[in-house]
Chains A and B, each alone.
Chain A
């Protein structure tokens, strides 16, 4: 079963008023804090909000940040661990879940498609940045494995299967809209020129448009039925939660204009400095769950910059933040510096 994040305990609020200038330095400092707190010496990225396990996603995010922020040493270290411990599947995809407390430590050999995409994306960037043929070959192998194993036509859509096992249904496919990492799909297209990637990008945009026309927010998990209509899944929570809150980030990262989606999220997220709504139920019964980790503010700030608001602050990373919001902060600030440098 693909990971549903659980964050335990309340966060200690450490509000460092963000610097208005020197954005680049701030990002670099945040990246150093991240390495210090979340990346182990052996190259394993530890999800401290999730009982200290690791997964293809945490490795993928870190590799992507290392490639984007020009850290060849960190990249080599994290890639070595990932390759030696997770890249062990027969089909060339990446096993998604590693629990150091278990023996053997791989407790679910299934893959998670967003993890695969992130790793392939990072490898491809790293290959170009540091002229590494070995990274390029690994990126190509992984891209091919994704394209051969994880793409399915359902109704009018070309869909990304969330994991190679367990998502097929008699009448459709369970998908996770937040697995469409548009920047990664663009990178795959450049690396592996094949029309499948563009079809995935187009379908992902269409899927998000159709979902936001149907529901108040983008769900974490949804069934796309054979006729192209949507339905809640049988066993996963019906909510817009920790997964879906990345969707506006990925739209910004890929430079994709789908104004309705970020608009809906921005309205639901409320004001900077208040606890962040991390789980918003879609059935109207359960209560919204909030998280007071200040790193989530970076998501709000990114959308504010996109709306060309004035005087938007910039969060830098506190060592108190858990791995997941820390990652979101780094990516938000990266895309903000790149897309809205004047903000």
Chain B
């Protein structure tokens, strides 16, 4: 009765069976049973008992206390002696006061600080060391005493406490080193490690089972805690721990147990709700589907509380799983319950994916001004209906798009409108849109469009000015110059400019081609990754070139083709024979290398990427972004020393997220 403490053992044999610590009420009965082995009770627990007794005494129940004292004429001094050994004077005094409140005539024993333990030896110095956590020195003293005083043997209590304290250290060290098998073994060797007072040990053992891929046993340990311990915060923290490691099914069972134990307290309801929602949020970007039970529960919860936020999360959960009808319903619900523009974004997307483009466009047009995402969807939907590319242009749509493009200074919409105007054979309008697009955001696509429009208009001066600005940056515009500049481009050249490679190849497939169109074909072949043919064609163009410039352009294409084929060394040699200025060569070549190195990196071919960067470095230093990429390529191909040198140098020049991350990963690897 005095001590209400719950200490439960996980004898590991028990783990295979359902834990014998079953129902809470049975456990209660067990706890109240006095037991002589309870000498090792941890101080915290006694503290609880103590405060209860204190409050009992202050309630004026002195009579019943006196009656009790009469019943047991010897008061239980175990705790008193424990505190004395631990030199915990504060608790010792409290315990003396407590015992006096039970029996005012009681006197503390004389030998409190010199207990006649351990066969007549004063163990106090050992207990002092123990209290300071100096367990190795306690063992040393015991060994020395045993040698110098053959009669000495340490008290059972000291050994028990020492075993437990040391096992605690070992458990912590093994868990830190992720030696999960050892963690489990240690918990079997010293069952007292696992108790409600040392609940973090139980968590560690549960984790060990899960890490060893024995999740059922892990769940049993959590279940043991949840069935046995009584402190609400312990139960809820245990549920949170379990949720980090267990799958939905096992967690649902534990959650139900917590509900049975705690009922609907405010704190429990909050924690359990957070857990369920956290689990939903975790699956938003993929992962396994939520267990049906959990998902249904959350849906019910959302409906019941008309919970806009939860409905929105559910909408995204279904969107991630391409369940667009469900997603649409939940976004709709979220919108109805006040989730605002976020819900509309989701709905527009869901409607588009459901093929309900009319509904999507209508909804998007109402909200386009309130959200960039909806605006983009709306423009996308409109552009889809704009026409062009062989289909008739929808003028009504074009007018709407024009309005939006103007209002939002939207370069890509202006570009689409430019090409639509070309389709409508309105090159003046087209020129205006391409220029607008370039104004709002410079892009090669818009420059190419503008060049085509200017050629169509016969505006040689305008074309020349544009070409002077862009030829060095745009192979497509350079190619238009090679075409003889100013003359109307051939159909094939236009197709190349617009990126319609298939039709370019078709248009240039005949046996007799003009020099210009053969060159166009070579570029299209290169674009189409048909590098062997591209190489032969560029060589032919070079052989037939009438002027330096045409030769130089074709050489450049030839060079790029070699690079695309990975013939870096050959390209390096050939470059010296090409009719370009040294500066051009360097720029063109390093640019080509940079592009190819990035592409190789993206393909996961780090060796090739590194070779290309090395080739780049032979003519010019790497630009910053490429140098960082080099660091990652070294790291990914296990050349750690080089990766470290690279990241360190870059980090000293300018510390960025990449350099920091690279260095941290290397450091972590080193520690492992």
Contact = CB atoms under 8 A, between A and B. Distances in A.
Interface of A: 41-43, 72-81, 83-90, 95, 102, 104, 106-107, 109, 130
A80 B181 contact: no
A72 B176 contact: no
Contacts of B170: 83-84, 87-88
A111 to B, nearest CB: 12
Contacts of A88: 170, 173-174, 177, 179, 182
Contact of A73 (B140, B180, B671): B140
Interface string B324-356: 000000000000000000000000000000000
A80 B139 contact: yes
For chain B, what secondary structure do more than half of its interface residues adopt (helix, strand, loop), or is it mixed?
Answer: helix
Given A80-B135, A88-B177, A109-B178, 18 more contacts: A42-B137, A43-B137, A72-B144, A72-B146, A76-B143, A77-B140, A79-B139, A80-B166, A84-B166, A88-B174, A88-B179, A88-B182, A89-B182, A90-B179, A104-B173, A106-B176, A106-B177, A109-B177
List the 9 shortest-distance A-B pairs measured between CB atoms, nearest first.
Answer: A90-B181, A104-B176, A43-B136, A76-B143, A77-B140, A80-B136, A73-B144, A88-B174, A76-B139
Contacts of A43: 136-137, 140
18 contacts: A43-B137, A43-B140, A72-B146, A73-B141, A76-B143, A77-B139, A78-B136, A80-B166, A83-B166, A83-B170, A84-B169, A88-B173, A88-B174, A90-B180, A90-B182, A104-B177, A106-B173, A130-B143
A107 B176 CA distance: 11
Contacts of B135: 80, 84
Interface in B122-164: 134-137, 139-144, 146-147
A77 B137 contact: yes
A70 to B, nearest CB: 9
Interface string B163-196: 0001001100110111111100000000000000
B385 to A, nearest CB: 62
A41 B137 contact: yes
A90 B175 CA distance: 11
A196 to B, nearest CB: 24
B33 to A, nearest CB: 33
Interface string B241-270: 000000000000000000000000000000
B607 to A, nearest CB: 20
B273 to A, nearest CB: 35
A253 B605 CA distance: 55
B136 A77 contact: yes
A95 B140 contact: no
A87 B186 CA distance: 11
Nearest to A72: B143
A110 to B, nearest CB: 10
Contacts of A104: 173, 176-177
B153 to A, nearest CB: 13
A109 B671 CA distance: 10
A73 B136 CA distance: 10
Contacts of B179: 88-90, 109
A46 to B, nearest CB: 14
B144 A85 contact: no
Contacts of B173: 84-86, 88, 104, 106
A337 B170 CA distance: 38
- Count chain B CB atoms within 10 A of each CB in A75, A77, A109 and give the residue with the most: A77
Contacts of B178: 109
Contact of A75 (B137, B143, B181, B671): B143
Contacts of A95: 177
Contacts of B177: 88-89, 95, 104, 106, 109
Contacts of A81: 136
Contacts of B166: 80, 83-84
Interface in B209-244: none
Nearest to B186: A88
A265 to B, nearest CB: 34
Interface string B536-564: 00000000000000000000000000000
A76 B142 contact: yes
B370 to A, nearest CB: 50
Contacts of A77: 136-137, 139-140
Nearest to A80: B136
Contacts of B142: 76
B140 A76 contact: yes
Contacts of A79: 139
B664 to A, nearest CB: 16
Contacts of A85: 169, 173
Contacts of A107: 671
A79 to B, nearest CB: 8
A87 B140 CA distance: 19
- Count chain B CB atoms within 10 A of each CB in A86, A88, A107 and give the residue with the most: A88
A102 B134 CA distance: 21
Contacts of A42: 134, 136-137
Contact of B143 (A73, A84, A87): A73
A222 B292 CA distance: 59
Contacts of A87: 170
Nearest to A109: B177
Contacts of B181: 90
Contacts of A83: 166, 170
- Count chain A CB atoms within 10 A of each CB in B140, B166, B179 and give the residue with the most: B140
Nearest to A84: B169
B161 to A, nearest CB: 14
Contact of A72 (B147, B174, B182): B147
Contacts of B671: 102, 107
